[in-house]
Chain A
Amino acid sequence: MTPSVDGVVREACHSVGHDPTRLMDVARAVQARLGGVPATAIDAIHDQLHVSRGQVRSLVSFYAFLDEQPGARHVIRVCDDVVDRLAGYDRVARAFSDELGIPLGGTTADGTFSLQRTACIGMSDQAPAALVGDVVVTDLSAERARQVVAELRAHGDPQRLVKRLGDGNNAHPLVRAMVRNNIRQAGPIVMSEQKRGEAVRKAAALSPVEVIRAVKTARLRGRGGAGFPTGIKWEMARAAPGARKFVLCNADEGEPGTFKDRVLLTEWPDRVFAGMTIAGYAIGAREGVLYLRAEYAYLRAFLEDVLARRRSDGLLGRDVPRRGFEFDIRIQMGAGAYVCGEESALIESCEGRRGDPRNRPPFPAQRGYLGCPTVVNNVETLCCVTRILESGSAAFSELGSRQSAGTKLLSISGDVSRPGVYEVPFGTPIQDVLALCGGRDATALQVGGPSGRMVGPADFERTICYDDVATGGALVVFDSSRNPLQIAHAYMEFFEDESCGYCTPCRVGNVLLRRGLEKVLAGRGEPADLEQFEQIAKTMKASSRCGLGQTSFNPVLTSLQSFRYQYETLVKEAPGGRRRGFDLDDATAEATRLRAAEGVRS
């Protein structure tokens, strides 16, 4: 029986206490039940939550995992990140498409299947991968894709696609995923053995100010990529006036090629939640929110269970870890939007809106989630916090380099023999990392994902740290058979899709750069085009509103810096002052077609 739209909406609104700031949860619940959020549901949400229809429609249209048009029973999202493309995305996508008889973006006539492409789902170490509903399928081949469709047709249960469970908690009854951790090198800090409860108890024995001092003494900087000193961020939030404050954990790991937070959430969730609790104690917050990307929905039940256990063990809730302090955490699901990894967009999303970043000032530490002082920390950063409290600041900062204390988790994928997660001390040379992961024929490296930089062999002696080659953790390796321009092009397509479109330089700049690259790749570029790329990049960097547009030109700009000769062999000065990019036949094609259709003779 089809559930009634009104009933579904009523139930969804009831489950969040009719709180309009929980619109994301309502929209996700309605999407899950009805396969979409149609106009009738938007009307019902408007009636129930008293939010404008415009706000609901705006939100639904923003997120990749929400649709106004009710979709199919099974949504297959094939990951088309660059790494998946290297590993056979084309064959896999074609196999799905042929088997289902629909193109990418299509839905079968009977409404059973729809096929979509999606940005990196955090499985680059086991690509090609796809999502069937919330279920992750990895290591796909064309044959396996056809099997997936056949099995779904036979039994209709995505969970039964999982034949062999992954290692560690991937096999936990609440996870049951085929995902493998691929922990290749566990270091002494983030991926060390857990001492559950110890860090929170040790923090409680100190004053909040002493906790912040410990984090500052350890010289901890944010692991998401920007590298802002965590202690200073906490101090600002602590000093900000307000009775209600929040700790947000950014688990919206969306940078293509990054998957280390997936592993931390799977194997070290207590360490993450302990870090949030300690942050709450330090800044004077009683509430925490873990913002979990939609692609990691398969971890949600497990994480909820970890939270429940922490509550029953007295590590969350009232009077923990000592009298008078209380702290609890809820999980906020995302719905498919890279930009929500930007902290102010993440806050907007938590408040039930589209993920448009905010104008700053005010900064989140002054006015963040629900208008209250808020710290947003990365998953790995919070794990570091827990370790600092466990083993002391000195043990933490003795590893790494002067400006970059501690270790860094690297998610390594691409043309390497051992893809996976590596914990290395800051200051490790790139070539040592390549030796570890078996990237022998490495010619180009994307360090820090597409928003980071593409480097060539000339830079392999440089080191991974904030003051040399900084990274949020992604390291994608390309061998000599790959074309840096094509890689840059694929990444520009990604940014074009993922820009929120709020500000001009990012909304338009990404498209211009993507199209410009196409022109160069087609042999129609001129040297002046390369100058124009640099101009566009400069303008985007300076004038874009958030970190996305301030870095999204990097695939072009940094490949141009590292592989300029490859561009220069493709561009040529146009003869006779004509633009090489201008193709008369192409420009007049539509007119010619219309003329033919109308039977006009020239």
Chain B
Amino acid sequence: MSEPCIIFDGREIPFVPGQTILQAAEDAGAWIPRLCHKPGLEPYGSCRVCVVRANGRTVSSCTFPASLGMVVECDTPDLLAMRKLIVEMLFVEGNHFCMSCEKSGHCELQALGYRLGITAPQLEYQFPRRQVDASHPDVLIDHNRCILCTRCVRTSRDLDGKDVFAVVGRGPHRRIAASAGTRLRDSGADVSDRAVDACPVGALLRKRVGFSVPVGLRPYDAVPIGSQEVAR
């Protein structure tokens, strides 16, 4: 018997039962833009960048399971416009100054902006006032750049087995906080935690190593985001 398949942008691609649309697509060499998704972590579905249309319904491909004969549209003008607008929303919601950010060239949000062809957001900047928590000797959180993907929260909880971060507040006041108190230094975070490497943007950073890879030699300086993942 042949493998079960979905129809992905008109192409038949196989999937393993239990796989999400995003995983099946990636195994078949099709990279769906995403931010909150990270292999090895439980799917979360918050950024909504990976939206696709599955049997006519718009769903997040990182959480939605592939099923036999499912017709998935991904690369359509309206979905592309939607993805662009969502990424723009993330840009204007925080304070993202790529030119002065040490994560530039490593940053998935920036790279996605380039890949999606966002030159300047059409939406109005919110310029929120947000805090920087540099209390920890080796790690720092700059909330200005946080996109609330919770990759740090999930990595810390599920892979490091720690209780370092919590999601607090709601609506536009939702933010990542140190779970034990007000400051990161009291939270039990350690520079060797896997959570420290989980951040897609410049919100959770290791101190003193920001420029160890020079600008120009960074991963997304050379190739668009997504090209390495599917070239594996």
Contacts and interface: CB of A to CB of B under 8 A. Distances in A.
A and B physically associate:
yes
Interface of A: 39, 52-55, 57-58, 61-62, 337, 339, 354, 359, 361, 496-505, 507-512, 515-516, 532, 535-536, 538-539, 542-545, 581
B163 A504 contact: no
A502 B46 contact: yes
Contacts of A512: 89, 92, 123-124
A39 B166 CA distance: 14
Given A54-B179, A58-B168, A359-B63, A504 B123 contact: no
B82 A542 contact: yes
B67 to A, nearest CB: 10
A539 B169 contact: no
A542 B46 contact: no
Given A359-B43, A581-B124, A499 B170 contact: yes
B51 A542 contact: yes
Interface residues of B, number: 45
Contacts of A498: 170-171
B89 A515 contact: no
Contacts of A545: 45-46, 48, 60
B83 to A, nearest CB: 9
B118 interface: no
Contacts of B81: 535
B85 A535 contact: yes
Closest 5 CB pairs of A and B: A54-B179, A501-B174, A54-B166, A61-B168, A508-B89
Contacts, number: 129
Nearest to B163: A52
A499 B44 CA distance: 17
Contact of A501 (B164, B165, B169): B169
Given A58-B167, A507-B93, A508-B92, A501 B122 contact: no
Contact of B85 (A57, A510, A539): A539
A356 to B, nearest CB: 8
A55 B173 CA distance: 17
Given A58-B167, A501-B171, A543-B58, 6 more contacts: A54-B180, A62-B170, A359-B63, A504-B49, A505-B86, A515-B126
27 contacts: A54-B153, A54-B165, A54-B179, A58-B167, A61-B170, A62-B170, A359-B44, A359-B45, A361-B65, A496-B172, A499-B170, A501-B148, A504-B89, A504-B93, A505-B86, A507-B148, A508-B89, A512-B92, A532-B123, A539-B85, A542-B51, A542-B58, A543-B51, A543-B58, A543-B60, A543-B86, A545-B60
B74 interface: no
Given A505-B89, A512-B124, A543 B48 contact: yes
Contacts of B201: none
B211 to A, nearest CB: 29
Contact of A504 (B46, B164, B166): B46
B169 A39 contact: no
B7 interface: no
B198 interface: no
B109 to A, nearest CB: 11
Given A53-B180, A54-B165, A501 B173 contact: yes
A581 B166 CA distance: 37
Nearest to A541: B58
Nearest to A515: B124
A542 B177 CA distance: 30
A502 B92 contact: no
A55 B171 contact: no
B171 A500 contact: yes
Q: Name the residue among B51, B166, B171, B181 with the largest chain A CB count within 10 angstroms.
A: B171
Contacts of B64: 361
B47 interface: yes
A316 to B, nearest CB: 35
A119 to B, nearest CB: 12
A496 B172 CA distance: 7
Given A53-B180, A54-B166, A496 B123 contact: no
Contacts of A503: 45-48
B207 to A, nearest CB: 23
A502 B180 CA distance: 21
A359 B46 CA distance: 9
Contacts of B82: 538-539, 542-543
B116 interface: no
Contacts of A504: 46-49, 86, 89-90, 93, 147-148
A39 B180 CA distance: 8
Contacts of A58: 166-168, 179
Interface string B42-71: 011111110100000010100111000000
Contacts of B171: 496-501, 507, 510
A106 B217 CA distance: 52
A79 to B, nearest CB: 19
B123 A55 contact: no
Contacts of B44: 359
A498 B93 CA distance: 17
A516 B81 CA distance: 20
A584 to B, nearest CB: 15
A242 to B, nearest CB: 19
A504 B82 CA distance: 12
Nearest to B42: A359
Nearest to B90: A504
A127 B89 CA distance: 37
B59 to A, nearest CB: 9
Nearest to B88: A508
A509 B163 CA distance: 31
A211 B206 CA distance: 61
